Amino acid sequence: MERFNGYFGEFGGAYVPEGLQKALKDLEEIFYKYIDDEDFINELNYYSKQYVGRENPLYFARRLTEYVGGAKIYLKREDINHTGSHKINNALGQALLAKRSDKKRIIAETGAGQHGVATATVCALFGMDCTVYMGAVDMKRQEHNVFRMKLLGAKVVPVTEGNATLKEAVDKALEDYIENYNDTFYLLGSAVGPHPYPMIVREFQSIIGKEAKRQILEQEGRLPDYIIACVGGGSNAIGLFHPFVEDKEVKIIGVEPGGKGLDSKHHAAAISKGEEGILHGFKSYALDESKYSIHSIAAGLDYPGVGPEHSYYKATGRADYVSITDEEALEAFYKLTKLEGIIPALESSHALAYGMKLASSLPKDNIIIVNLSGRGDKDVNQIMEMENNI
């Protein structure tokens, strides 16, 4: 793999304390050493197939397509993966890097809990010590995933500072990493953070887009007209988007959490409403938290920034970024469940909601791929409480 300087245009970089620079440089060296190594790739492919269950289907949602009455909607079924989301792709890859680094202690951050569960899972698989930082608010609305992490042997540390959600969990994980990087591997979950993390996460998640491209060519004999994914930090989206970037005929759409509406102060649409700035050691679009109350019905999208590669796609016009409200995402959640028998994660429901809206406006010979990044088991209790309070 060619060396990369850590910037996507003007976005990215590593704006970190001197103490962390060596750790990141060591991580970069390990990544480049093994990413093209035959033994590493063979082991990654073995566990991806035999443990995670790849490749997963690209499913034509026939009843959903008939309901919207427009373009064909295909779903990339990351929800079928072991642990229930795309997060296992990256967790597995980074765990194998940690294994080759001889580091037995793994730390991670998590929002919706899916990355925490994936990290705890690979730590159990490889016999590693696991600590997961999670905002206290997210722990409350994702109790199911917290219990799963503990069952898997992870220590889950509640973070109570600030909004007590994903941003604060990342803060705590970075603090731990700075203090303990000599014997600790930080398994970062999204396509954010200082270089080389956005590149590493993108590399391990790009299996999504590589499979989807091959599968749509097999099923339809051509590339899709649109590919769509939800964007918080943006790892599932960059995994789908990157393999299609050079295919100019394919339109790319990222769907941000519109919360209570972009005209309100309660959302997490960092690209749509943010400004260029430094967050967690990298330059990207980010929301000013003095102006906005970072909010989404989906815990995994509750983040004030976005990955630098998405910022670059926005700035160059290669991708469009739109938003879906909590209400629209919830409606899509129910619709897919009842029409296709698939319960989607609330994060994925954002992409699905926009995909349905777009499909209804397009000719029937158009093709859309929506990344179904995770399953909704983790959200059922949250939705049940909402229904009980109506």
- Give yes or no for residue 7 having a pLDDT over 70: yes
pLDDT (0 to 100) of residue 389: 77
211 is catalytic: no
The two tokens of residue 229 are 């994914």
Is a pLDDT exceeding 90 seen at residue 323? yes
Model's pTM, two decimal places? Answer: 0.97
* Contacts (Cβ under 8 Å, ≥6 apart) of 230: 236, 237, 254, 255, 256, 257, 298, 301, 347, 348, 350, 351, 371, 373
pLDDT of 182 over the 90 cut: yes
- C-alpha 308, offset from chain centre: 13
Distance CA 342, CA 352 (A): 12
Orientation of helix 38-47 relative to helix 87-100, angle to 10°:
140
Both tokens assigned to 254: 């990222």
Which is catalytic among the residues 235, 296, 323, 373? 373
* Domain 8-47+86-201 grouped into CATH 3.90.320.10: no
Q: Note whether 207 and 239 are within 8 A (CB).
A: yes
Tokens of 220: 């339809």
Give the strands of the sheet with 105-110, arranged side by side: 155-159, 129-135, 105-110, 184-186
Distance from C-alpha of 192 to C-alpha of 283, rounded to nearest angstrom: 10
Please pick, among 109, 256, 328, 340, the residue that the annotation labels catalytic: 109
Reported confidence tier of residue 112, pLDDT bands at 50, 70, 90? confident
pLDDT tens readout for residues 54-73:
999 999 999 999 999 999 99
Short-list 189, 309, 206, 302, CA closest to 256: 302
Q: Which of 76, 87, 99, 335 is catalytic?
A: 87
Query: Tell me: the pLDDT tens digits for 361-388?
Result: 999 999 999 999 999 999 999 999 988 8
Active site (annotated) includes residue 109: yes
Q: Is it true that 8-47+86-201 and 54-84+207-388 share their CATH fold?
A: yes
Is 87 in the active site?
yes
Q: Where are the domains of the chain?
A: 8-47+86-201, 54-84+207-388
Q: What's the token pair of residue 156?
A: 């889950």
Model pLDDT for residues 335-366, shown as the tens digit of each residue:
999 999 999 999 999 999 999 999 999 999 99
Question: Given this model, what pLDDT does residue 324 score?
Answer: 98
User: 2 pLDDT exceeds 90?
Assistant: no
Each residue of 88-111: pLDDT tens digit? 999 999 999 999 999 999 999 999
- Side chain identity at residue 265, one-letter code: K
The reported pLDDT for the residue numbered 19 is: 82
- pLDDT given at position 141: 86
Q: Kindly report, residue by residue over 183-239, the tens digit of the pLDDT.
A: 999 999 999 999 999 999 999 999 999 999 999 999 999 999 999 999 999 999 999
Q: What angle do CA 287, 293, 299 make, to 5 degrees?
A: 90
CA–CA gap between residue 216 and residue 362 (Å, rounded): 18
> Is pLDDT at 390 greater than 70 in this prediction?
no
- Tokens representing 375 are 């399953």
Percentage of the chain beyond pLDDT 70 is 100
The whole-chain average pLDDT of the chain stands at 97
Tell me the sheet residues that pair with 12: 7, 283
Indicate the CATH number of 54-84+207-388 among 2.40.30.10, 2.60.40.790, 3.40.50.1100, 1.50.10.10.
3.40.50.1100
